[in-house]
Amino acid sequence: MYDLLIRGGTVVDGTGNPGYRADVALSGGLIAEVGQISGAATRTIDATDLTVAPGIIDNHTHYDAQVSWDSLLTPSCWHGVTSVIMGNCGVGVAPCRADYREPATWDLVNVEGIPYDLLKENIDWQWETFPEYLDAMQRGGLGVNVGAMLGMNPVRHYVLGEESTERASNPEEVRQIQQIIREAMEAGALGFSTSKLPLDIGYKGVPVSSRLADMNELRAYAEVLGDMGKGVIQLALSANPGMLTDEEEGLIKALMQASNGRPMTWLALLNREDHPEACMDLLARTQPLIEKGAVPQIACRPLIALTNLIHPFVFGELESWKPAFDATPEEQKTLYRDESFRAAWREDMKAPRIFSGEWERVEINSVGNPRFEHLVGKTIRELEAETGKDGSDLFLDLALEDDLKMDFRIAFFNTNEERVAQLLNDPRTLLGLSDGGAHLDMLCDAGFSTYLLGHWVREKQALSLEKAVHRITQEPAKFFGIKDRGVIEVGKAADITIFDHLTVGSPLKPEIARDLPGGGLRMVTRSTGVEYTVVNGEVLFEGATHTGAMPGQIMRS
């Protein structure tokens, strides 16, 4: 007798091949049979008129701390996701000695936009080393499967201490770091991640640790993967999304060479209005690297962030804004009023940046003082025309007048759908960038998978259902070396997502939820049309309802 029998659905198996009508039987956490099945089962799901797909893999998340208080890893699991990969962009919580938990916490605050009090009160710190961290996650119980990258920020903290944010490692320290990478890989890490992003500002407003690693040090990291013959490199790289400097391209080449061609994914290929052809030009330029396995990541949603001037993460790349980080609100107000700060910011915006003064893309989202309620929904460009004030002055003055409680929605990238559709159909890219678990008060792109299936497949018909499913199942599984998942095939792990292709989707604009420990606020996106989420043969969700099962496993390399 089977444990679970899914009858009569259209199987879209993850390979990209055409869907077909079939039953799927699950036993012992594995796919036991696919076809016309007559055997009995403990439970049967009628999937008539539904699509039966492999479990979706969310390959770019930051749930490293959240797993301490949320074993389901919401909101990714609300979107048919059965596996997540965390530890991206060099950020993580292991390894970490007891005396260095504070800097590790502030890295998560400044880089990933997670509230300090939430982290301080809820990370359980039942580990010191990375292998101990993996074991602690499994002991705590998991709703979905977790694959973990080894973030190099905590590794460098662990070896160099406070000097990790001041200098590159010496030869003896490099050897210690290599040993930590090797031990992490032997314990099951999927690879390592590191950052060179100017935007990544950590503890005390200084660059995160991994940004201080020099070329020799980075090559030494990659050599470990080459020697072991396994693992992936994830690199947060481009100061200007959609573009690469010669130095950044050189780093990709060097790491590919040092790792003997291990797969690498780098961030990020996002469409920009100021350079509309940049993405396709860069794909052509980096074609030789892509063919060797260095694949850029893309997103299927426009990058729209909610921001305010107490947490000005979006301006972290700008030298003029550095004093705003780790400052009190009163200190920030003094800074924002300062004419020399304003002049320096205007000068910064003259160069191509994540934001360079496109005020038509900055909308007032909410206000603290009711007297500003009439401004909600207006752009700074519109108010510029009404008031005659410079946009940057207006932006700062409005925030100050509202005691820094005013929130703004800023549309940064991927606003041109025709060009996004090009990237979605381009095999030289890796789809992901959900950032699940990060930037809690700014955005929520954890619904990327249902947005892809609803908006891009059903509404826009920009790609087929089969191709879309392939992009979020077998493709990331293959890339990250997850050999037992990503397809519906006998003997594979029984991770299944069952959805209604006529209703599946998720909204573009997230909602505000107060569901963090202590009633804290975050942005979330909910799904429609996901009928069942099955993890390792157990039903995790029926619609939006958690069944109580916790069948997730650590996916070890």
What value does the mean pLDDT take over residues 350-359? Answer: 78
Q: Report the DSSP pairing between strands 522-524 and 511-513.
A: antiparallel
Q: Is 348 helix (H, G, I), strand (E, B) or coil?
A: helix
Exposed e or buried b per residue across 519-528, where buried means at least 16 C-beta atoms within 10 angstroms of its C-beta = ebebbbbbbb
Report which of 437, 541, 547 is spatially closest to residue 148, judged by C-alpha positions: 437
Domain boundaries, the chain: 2-54+497-501+521-545, 56-302+414-481+490-496, 306-413
Q: Is 445 helix (H, G, I), strand (E, B) or coil?
A: coil
Neighbouring residues of 70: CB distance < 8 A, sequence distance ≥ 6: 63
Q: Is residue 353 over pLDDT 70? A: no
Distances (CA, A) of 190 to 8, 133, 376: 36, 14, 44
Distances (CA, A) of 217 to 182, 287, 405, 542: 15, 26, 43, 48
Exposed e or buried b per residue across 301-338, where buried means at least 16 C-beta atoms within 10 angstroms of its C-beta = bbbbbbbbbbbbbbbbbbebbbebbbbeeeebbebbee
Superfamily of domain 2-54+497-501+521-545: Urease, subunit C, domain 1 (2.30.40.10)
Cα 213–chain centre separation: 23
DSSP states of 125-192: ---SSHHHHHHHHHHH--SSEEEE-EEHHHHHHHHHGGGGGTSPPPHHHHHHHHHHHHHHHHHT--EE
Q: Are 407 and 365 in contact (CB under 8 A)?
A: yes
pLDDT digits (tens, 9 = 90+) for 56-81: 999 999 999 999 999 999 999 999 99
pLDDT digits (tens, 9 = 90+) for 213-272: 999 999 999 999 999 999 999 999 987 888 999 999 999 999 999 999 999 999 989 998
pLDDT band at 210 (very low <50, low <70, confident <90, very high): very high
DSSP states of 45-111: EE-TTSEEEEPEEE-SB--TTGGGT-TT-TTGGGGTEEEEEE--TT--S-S--GGGHHHHHHHHHHH
The one-letter amino acid at 268: A
> What's the confidence (pLDDT) of residue 295?
98
Q: Is 529 helix (H, G, I), strand (E, B) or coil?
A: coil
**Residue 536 to residue 550: CA distance in whole angstroms:** 10
pLDDT digits (tens, 9 = 90+) for 12-43: 999 999 999 999 999 999 999 999 999 899 99
Domains 2-54+497-501+521-545 and 56-302+414-481+490-496 share a fold: no
> What's the confidence (pLDDT) of residue 146?
98
Report which of 527, 547, 541, 529 is spatially closest to residue 496, judged by C-alpha positions: 541
Q: Are 133 and 127 in contact (CB under 8 A)?
A: yes
Q: Please give the structure tokens belonging to residue 301.
A: 């949603």
Neighbouring residues of 29: CB distance < 8 A, sequence distance ≥ 6: 493, 494, 536, 537, 538, 551
Beta bridge partners of 151: 193
> What's the confidence (pLDDT) of residue 114?
86
Q: Please give the structure tokens belonging to residue 324.
A: 């705003």
**Residue 30 to residue 489: CA distance in whole angstroms:** 9
Report which of 502, 366, 383, 526 is spatially closest to residue 441, judged by C-alpha positions: 366
Q: Please give the structure tokens belonging to residue 508.
A: 């573009």
> What's the confidence (pLDDT) of residue 111?
80
Report which of 111, 109, 136 is spatially closest to residue 124, judged by C-alpha positions: 136
Residues in the chain: 557
> What's the confidence (pLDDT) of residue 202?
74
Q: Is residue 319 over pLDDT 90? A: no
Topology (CATH) of 56-302+414-481+490-496 = TIM Barrel (3.20.20)
Q: How many CB atoms lie within 10 A of CB 427?
A: 10
What value does the mean pLDDT take over residues 435-458? Answer: 94
Average pLDDT of the residues of the chain: 94
**Residue 411 to residue 525: CA distance in whole angstroms:** 17
Beta bridge partners of 11: 20, 52
Q: Report the DSSP pairing between strands 2-11 and 20-27.
A: antiparallel
pLDDT band at 104 (very low <50, low <70, confident <90, very high): confident
Cα 532–chain centre separation: 23
> What's the confidence (pLDDT) of residue 200?
76
> What's the confidence (pLDDT) of residue 352?
63
Q: Please give the structure tokens belonging to residue 505.
A: 């989707």
Q: Is residue 203 over pLDDT 80? A: no
E strand or H helix at 342: helix 339-348
pLDDT digits (tens, 9 = 90+) for 147-187: 999 999 999 999 999 899 999 999 999 999 999 999 999 99
What value does the mean pLDDT take over residues 331-347? Answer: 96
Q: Percent of the chain at pLDDT above 70? A: 100
- SS3 readout for 280-301: HHHHHHCHHHHHCCEEEEECCC
More confident residue, 205 or 310: 310
Cα 356–chain centre separation: 24
